[in-house]
Structures are given as structure tokens and as C-alpha cells.
Structure 1
Amino acid sequence: MRDHEVLAAFERIYRADVGAITRFFARRCTEPQLVADLTADTFVRAMTSFATFDASKGTATSWLYGIARRTFAAHLERSARTRDLVRKAGGRRELDTDELAELEARIDAERPGRALLERLAELPALEREAVELVHLCGLAPKEAADALGVPRGAMRTRLYRAMARLRRVVEDEVEAR
């Protein structure tokens, strides 16, 4: 592929998935600047590794969610080492009023998703991520398997177990009322 074709292909992927990746981070963060930074970091990483993307191994969307997961994990690791990193604005482009308002709206819109993630916290990490990718992000189970780097058959088992555990949590909450 020529350079302009590669750029056009990446632009199509970006346009198709930027909203989903932004929502992914908006479920995890309440600070608009951080959501914008993590989304941008994800696409910078995707752009620099686009030559290695292999559509025969999965969809571009599942590939991007894999990158987003690693981006968020790296952020958490940095934050754990330096707690005040999130509060500092040094080196960041300040968001204009419209961008800030849009990200605040997305963060507000993802409030139910954040609440679900809190309930999912009781699940093992891979089951929690599987439920999120399939039921919140809308990936097919095989795409979620690709994003998580697990066999596709194992993904279905993880989803089944996770949903059974969630049903028990909800049933216990209903009984407690």
C-alpha cells in the first residue's frame, strides 16, 4: 500500500472508532482532560504500529481496544508511581470550552457504565473485561477474545461464568431489599 492509502485506511479506522475508544476511557475516568489524553495516546500508539495490524487476526476495533487497554494499564502504573500526575496539567494542550463540554457530556453519559464497572469489580479481571468489551463496547465475543489475547472458545466460557456471577450478585441485592 502507498503512504496515502495507509493514511486513508487509518483515517477510516480512526473516524469509525474514536467515539467508542473515548467512551471506553470515559467509563474509567471523570476528568475530561485525562479522557482526551488517553484517547489521543491510544491513537498515537495505533498510528505508530499500524503497519503491524493484521486484519486476518481480528478487526481493527478489537485491535484498538487492545491498545486502549494497554494504554490505560500504563496510565494506572504511572499514576501509582506518581499520584499527583493526574492533577498536573504540564505538557498538555488545554481543552477549549466546546471540547471540555463535549467530554463532560460523554463522561456523564457513561455514568451507568461506570456503575456497572463497579459491580463488575467483584469478578476476576478477565471476566470483567470480557463483559465490558462485549456488553458495553459492543464487540462480538471473538473480537473481545482478540482484544484480550485469549482463545475464542475460552471467551465464551468466561462470558457465561461472568454473567452467572452477575446474576447471583443482582439476586442477592434484590433479596437484601
Structure 2
Amino acid sequence: MSVPATGLAAEFEQIYRAHVQQVTAYFARRTADPQTVADLTADTFVQAITSFATFDPARGSPRGWLFAIARRVFAQYCERTSRGRNVVERLAGRRELDMDEAAELVVRIDAERAGRALFDGMAALAQSDREVIELVDIAGLDRKEAAAALGISLGALRIRLFRARGKLRKVVGEDNG
């Protein structure tokens, strides 16, 4: 019989349960590999739980905080991958997914296919423009959460979002024209 979590553990468990699907979707939009999605999601929550004692709700929402961590985890993953580590090193320490876990992540990845297609269309935008559109328009963070995740002021986020949406409309219009 398991003992219910209390204190910080219970608070983190609530945050985990409320946001694990959103974090998983964030990574599923970036990669079609179920194992990578699972690993990046797990890495995000490992970093979150190890730093949870320092989380300050006055500085932003748990969702914004988790997306800031997820962005860093993905950036670290991209950096490691771009260095060309060999396959043996990448597989070391990986827990292989069972058939049900892999199937569930394949369904999630398929569900995020439209999101990945949008990212392909956003490729013409600068990274800062892509990030602000993704956090607000795709991941659904409110502007305050997105500003906190990006480490910028709310005013700067509003300006960046306005400009990024305009650029995206222009790019999409050119593709359709």
C-alpha cells in the first residue's frame, strides 16, 4: 500500500499530473521518435523535481516554469545531437519503451503532426519569432507565462509576438500565392 505524498512532494505531483501531457506534446511536435519524446519529457521533470524547492510562484506559473525547463532540455538535446555523438553513446542508459508505451507515444506524435507541419512553415522565421509563436499560439501559455519562460518582459513579449505573427502571415501568404 502506497503512502500519499505530502508537502512539496504532493505539490510537485499535482504540477506533474496537470502538465505532463502538455510537456510531452511540446516534444512530440519536435521529434517523431517516441523514445526521444519519452526521454526528453523525463529529463524535463527530473530537472524540475531537483529544482522544485527553489520554484517561486510569484515569478510565474508552474506551466511557464516547466516550459522554460523543457526549452533548455531540448536545446541541450539538440546540442548533443549536433555534435554527432555515436549511436552507442546515445543509447547508453536508455530505458527501452514497452509496446504499450511506444504505441501511446506514436499516437501522441501523430496527433502533433499538424504542429510539426506548422514548424516546417515557420522555418523561415528567426528563432526568437518561432519561440514566441510556439509558446503562446501552439502551447497555449498566456503572455505572462511565455514572457517568464523566455526571460523577457511582458511588453517585449507583446511586441515580439505582434511582429512574429505578422512575419508568419507574410510567409504563409507567400507560400500560398
Q: Which stretch of structure 1 is more off in the superposition, 78-87 or 45-54?
A: 78-87
Q: What residue number does 1:69 align with?
A: 71
Alpha-carbon spacing, 1:109–1:86, altered in 2? closer, same or farther (3 Å): farther
Shift of 1:169: 1.3
Following the alignment from structure 2 to structure 1, what is the Cα–Cα distance between the partners of residues 16 and 152? Answer: 25
What aligned pairs does 1:151-162 form with structure 2 within 5 A after superposition? 151-162=153-164
Unaligned runs of 5+ in 1: none
Q: Please, what TM-score do these two structures have when normalized by structure 2? A: 0.93
Specify the code of the residue in structure 1 equivalent to 2:96.
E
Following the alignment from structure 2 to structure 1, what is the Cα–Cα distance between the partners of residues 48 and 170? Answer: 38
SS at match of 2:32: coil
* Contact kept in structure 1, 2:121 and 2:172, CA below 8 Å: no
Q: What residue number does 1:120 align with?
A: 122
* Contact kept in structure 2, 1:58 and 1:146, CA below 8 Å: yes
* Contact kept in structure 2, 1:79 and 1:86, CA below 8 Å: no
Shift of 1:123: 1.4
Give the paired residue count: 173
Deviations 1:65-105 (A, max 9, x none): 00000000011111112343499433111111110000001
Following the alignment from structure 1 to structure 2, what is the Cα–Cα distance between the partners of residues 103 and 54? Answer: 31
What aligned pairs does 1:43-54 form with structure 2 within 5 A after superposition? 43-54=45-56
SS at match of 1:121: helix
Determine which of 82, 107, 112 is the counterpart of 1:105. Answer: 107
Tell me if 1:148 matches 2:150: yes
Alpha-carbon spacing, 1:22–1:87, altered in 2? closer, same or farther (3 Å): farther
Q: What residue number does 1:20 align with?
A: 22
Deviations 1:122-164 (A, max 9, x none): 1121111010011110101111010010111010111100111
Q: What residue number does 2:40 align with?
A: 38
Determine which of 151, 165, 168 is the counterpart of 2:167. Answer: 165
Following the alignment from structure 1 to structure 2, what is the Cα–Cα distance between the partners of residues 112 and 83? Answer: 30
Specify the code of the residue in structure 2 equivalent to 1:42.
T
Runs of 4+ in 1 over 6 A off after TM superposition: none
Percent of aligned positions that are identical:
55
Specify the code of the residue in structure 2 equivalent to 1:103.
L
Determine which of 128, 132, 135 is the counterpart of 1:133. Answer: 135
SS at match of 1:28: coil
Unaligned runs of 5+ in 2: none
